[in-house]
A and B are shown apart, each in its own frame.
Chain A
Amino acid sequence: EAAVTQSPRNKVAVTGGKVTLSCNQTNNHNNMYWYRQDTGHGLRLIHYSYGAGSTEKGDIPDGYKASRPSQENFSLILELATPSQTSVYFCASGRRGAETLYFGSGTRLTVL
């Protein structure tokens, strides 16, 4: 089964601080995604990537940047964290041409 590892599992940040969430997958998947999960909103797509060096904006990209330095790694960066970014963040990966996504265990971020 596909392995997607997120770090950290939990993070507490201060308003205005910089936060980096990391995701690593070992299945050589081309596509990677960052979602956030909030009660009442479900899962919303923030950024995604179709390969190393490429990133695309999802449905709610404001306040977030993404980086895909290699096939295996995909980071989500909050340059100036705000309390509204308190959420659970999920990374997912998938093969090109295949729609099934494999999700990581999630990162719970609290911005105080």
Chain B
Amino acid sequence: GEKVEQHESTLSVREGDSAVINCTYTDTASSYFPWYKQEAGKSLHFVIDIRSNVDRKQSQRLIVLLDKKAKRFSLHITATQPEDSAIYFCAASLNSGGSNYKLTFGKGTLLTVTP
């Protein structure tokens, strides 16, 4: 099955700097790559995604890059703010039949933004 490796387990940046979290996946059939955020003591919620038909997507301060050749994707958070501090999970999705998908998550990156 699909395996997703999230390279940074922790990341610390100064407020205003950029943060980059990198993930790799194994299955070339994966076609959808979302990112989820988990604030301390809370549940996960979706933040941004990218599909395999594009190599870049931006939503405000979040940028996702996809390199299908290298089977690598990354989340860039620009102009970081203290409220960006959280655990970020990358995931890859395979079509598991019909229009259903199964997400495989990375282990998470704890991002700390210091003032």
Contact = CB atoms under 8 A, between A and B. Distances in A.
Co-complex (A, B): yes
Interface of A: 31, 33, 35, 40-45, 48, 50, 58-59, 90, 96-97, 99-106
Contact of B107 (A40, A100, A102): A40
Nearest to A33: B103
Given A43-B89, A100-B46, A105-B43, A59 B1 contact: yes
Contact of A45 (B6, B36, B102, B106): B102
17 contacts: A31-B100, A40-B107, A42-B108, A43-B89, A43-B108, A44-B105, A45-B102, A45-B104, A50-B100, A90-B44, A97-B99, A99-B32, A99-B93, A101-B44, A103-B36, A103-B45, A105-B43
Contacts, number: 54
A101 B46 contact: yes
Given A43-B44, A48-B102, A50-B100, 19 more contacts: A31-B100, A42-B6, A42-B89, A42-B108, A43-B108, A45-B102, A45-B104, A58-B102, A59-B104, A96-B99, A96-B100, A97-B99, A99-B34, A99-B103, A100-B34, A100-B49, A101-B36, A103-B43, A105-B43
Interface residues of B, number: 24
A26 to B, nearest CB: 16
Contacts of B6: 42
Interface of B is mostly: strand
A57 B68 CA distance: 28
A44 to B, nearest CB: 8
Nearest to A58: B102
Contacts of A96: 98-100
A44 B89 CA distance: 12
Residue among A40, A96, A99 with most chain B CB within 10 A: A99
A3 B84 CA distance: 23
